Chain A
């Protein structure tokens, strides 16, 4: 089965996102992007989800989950491996996909941010078309 990369990408920012980043921690909030893949019949197969945390990293620190499917299971957001190791990635949580009426919905439950100012994100942050219009 060949898969096509779609342009139906999802990009979401947390509510504390600033167009102009702060000059100290927390530099900014979270950015979550999703890139879906579709099969030959243009039906949704999976998505690659990237969670980018700007709390302690001005340029962001990204954790990527590839080939997330509609398995109805929470996928833990892994801590990215960096060299040298750092604790700059503050996100703790999981994502999963769910079928909606017209699209595939991306659900999150996660916490992030400075230790004393942790923020929680819950719910559905966006969707991908079930069938690629392309």
Chain B
């Protein structure tokens, strides 16, 4: 996974010797894998390949049987900076009859451990309006989420993920159940974001054709039935640009 040339980008996700099995079935075996800042990684595989299992381990929802996972240099068990991660779920992960407006859903991107017991501030509301504007969904902000099309719903979840201006964006099969035209539009949107914003992307998908255009024809690595396609950060920015970004932070 490491690029051959010297790289000044910091590691965002480090997976070391990770294995996982359900009873007798080995799903992931001795996986070593590093995602650096501003990389775009596509995790591709058929149903049952273990993509979701790996994703759940990376975000701490599932403990690894063996090995270790670090997020932003911290072991996953001790990780606290959840606002640095934006998460876009599968379209069918929520109840479409849930009585929530687009604005309420986008706002929920701010509800993390650090915000517990705290009231939302005027700045929080402004962040929500900004996220709605960036995704161009202000005009549907007061509509019920279940009444929207699949493409609109994914823009809402993207706005929710971006509300904290995260460093890492995780997308779990974001285009499942969405028509081909909307899928293409959504993929264009996130690749544009990758090219123009200092963010790292990890996307789980079963759609090989979609990732090949942006991440290259061949996987850079494979573990079991999961293939990893990567567009490395050093392909889109040099070390001088990275230093400038770090000095701004």
Q: Do A and B bind each other?
A: no
Interface residue ranges, A against B (CB under 8 Å): none
Interface residue ranges, B against A (CB under 8 Å): none
